[in-house]
Chains A and B, each alone.
Chain A
Amino acid sequence: MPPSLQSQSAVDPQHPDIDIRQGRKVFASERGDVEALADIDLQVRRGEFLSVVGPSGCGKSTLLKCVAGLERLTSGSLQVRGEAVREAPLGLGMVFQRDLLLDWRTVIENVLLIAQFRGLDMGKARVRALELLHLFGLEDFVDRYPWELSGGMRQRASICRALVDDPALLLMDEPFGALDAMTRDQLNVELQRIWEDSGKTVLFITHGIAEAVFLSDRVAVMSRNPGRIMKMIDIDLPRPRNLSIRDSTQFTHYTGQIRDVFLSLGILKNH
């Protein structure tokens, strides 16, 4: 299993890892200001897997970028592990919808990119990278180039890259959105396996209702124009979850709850 996370011990365990209060984000455009996020109150606990599910254009990616320090909230407060976010918080791993692997680097060199940026001991980072690649079944592709890999394998490698410096916080922006349904299911299972017992806090952005329920401890359901959190749902399903849990009545109860929110907002329509 991935090494434990000593880095957390210095921080107050009662404090949420991500703490957003009255978050609001406005983008200036030619036709006036556009409110992307409004009234965002969100606390993500240490070690929690929280998904934000919403339609495209609801500002969920903007929300994640704010947490990553890549965008600033227009107003409101945003703290990551007790500190106001001004630049990217330390101990942060990011996975995007596109794998963003560098064509000129082999798989392991790609995984080590973040270790180089962070100035880690490369010997140790290499051991960790190999461990991660093994966990994701990429041990035979360590020295291959990205173009020799399938979409699913590329995204696995990009998750390894995010985990290489053992971050306490993992931000994932629709990481499986571009994959086919079967690969996506498989990666859901693998991500859950890696996340369990790792103690990592995960903020997971998706437009997939079933994916959000399957992976999460809690699901935040968002509306658009502006992006607001309409409902917060605790997912009380036993772990580890396997794919067949999706057929259980409990599971469909949760997905139904989320779908009802979108139906009531007119984001989904029955006819």
Chain B
Amino acid sequence: MTFKSSGVGRFLEVMAVLVGALIVWEIAVRIWMPKPFILPAPSLIWSEFASSPGYFLAQTGYTLGTTMGGFLLALLLGFISAVGIVYSRLLERTFYTLLVALNSVPKVALAPLFVIWMGTGVEPKIAIALTIAIFATVIDTVLGLRSVDPELLSLARSARASEWQVLLRIRLPSALPSMFAGMKLAISLALVGAIVGEFVAGNTGLGQVILQAQGMFQTARMFVAIIVLGILGTVLFYGLEALERWLLPWHVSQRGQIMQHGA
């Protein structure tokens, strides 16, 4: 039983469960026949999507762009801040303290404010995605950079390694697993931020599709957007997991693996 085949097996299992749920849904709708604007059947949702796939794809692309913009900025700024926080007591006491305090504010509440500051274009949406996502990247990167084995630092000091070498060769690689945990959280949060941003302003993106469809009781259309969002979130999450597996084989293969050789 290798790692890869069990991964494929798990994927097939998840797909089977999802397809099963759709079939139950379809049958239930056909038996009890609720009004389509209350609960449309999967087949109706599919034909709604098939009627204008180009439109949905364009809206998805917009939301994806906003999400990735927010996520990548959160990653970059989060990383720089984390390194600063780990190396500077002042930054730790000021910036990090502020950040942790702000984390308890529901960031969604800031969305209307960002619209006033930045207008109704893509900027406030990216800003909200960034604001929601950055906490995860900063906190997990700080955690990762700090969780270095102190004896490893002693080893480096005994060889007179520079602080830069320690950061590059020891701290950063040891922080990567923790950073990936933060990134997987951040990408989901960035998607939430993008949708909230689209709710409060503008007329593009899957958030707007949902809002506009609601106004016209086009429930099937809302479901298309919701399902696409579900797929988007899943793909982004597992994309990061695949990237982690590729970049950190040493970490992934260590989970639950034991030594194989004798002395």
Please list the residues of chain A having a beta carbon within 8 angstroms of any beta carbon in chain B.
65, 68-70, 87-88, 90, 92, 94, 96, 98, 100, 102-104, 113-114, 116-118, 145, 147-153, 165, 171, 180, 182-183, 186
* Known A-B contacts A148-B260, A182-B263; A117 and B161 likewise in contact (beta carbons under 8 Å): yes
A92 CB → nearest B CB, Å: 6
CB-CB < 8 A to A151: which residues of B?
Answer: 259, 263
Within the assembled complex, what's the spacing in Å between the Cα atoms of A84 and B215? 80
Within the assembled complex, what's the spacing in Å between the Cα atoms of A145 and B251? 11
Which segment of B12-20, B46-54, B135-143, B146-154 sits at the interface? Answer: B146-154
Within the assembled complex, what's the spacing in Å between the Cα atoms of A145 and B170? 16
B253 touches A96 (CB 8 A): no
B263 touches A117 (CB 8 A): no
CB-CB < 8 A to B165: which residues of A?
Answer: 116-117
Within the assembled complex, what's the spacing in Å between the Cα atoms of A256 and B173? 48
* Known A-B contacts A90-B160, A96-B151, A147-B253; A116 and B169 likewise in contact (beta carbons under 8 Å): yes
**B155 beta carbon closer than 8 Å to chain A:** yes
Within the assembled complex, what's the spacing in Å between the Cα atoms of A99 and B193? 45
Within the assembled complex, what's the spacing in Å between the Cα atoms of A144 and B67? 39
Within the assembled complex, what's the spacing in Å between the Cα atoms of A114 and B174? 17
Which of B151, B157, B161, B176 meets A100, CB within 8 Å?
Answer: B151
A113 touches B169 (CB 8 A): yes
Which of B151, B253, B261 meets A153, CB within 8 Å?
Answer: B261
Which of B158, B169, B254 meets A88, CB within 8 Å?
Answer: B158
**B106 beta carbon closer than 8 Å to chain A:** no
B157 touches A118 (CB 8 A): no
**B156 beta carbon closer than 8 Å to chain A:** yes
Within the assembled complex, what's the spacing in Å between the Cα atoms of A68 and B52? 71
7 residue pairs, one from A and one from B, having the closest CB atoms: A152-B263, A117-B161, A117-B159, A94-B158, A103-B250, A183-B263, A104-B250
A138 CB → nearest B CB, Å: 11
CB-CB < 8 A to B230: which residues of A?
Answer: none
Within the assembled complex, what's the spacing in Å between the Cα atoms of A180 and B254? 23
**B262 beta carbon closer than 8 Å to chain A:** yes
Which of A70, A147, A152 meets B250, CB within 8 Å?
Answer: A147
* Known A-B contacts A102-B173, A153-B261, A183-B263; A88 and B250 likewise in contact (beta carbons under 8 Å): no
CB-CB < 8 A to A116: which residues of B?
Answer: 165, 169
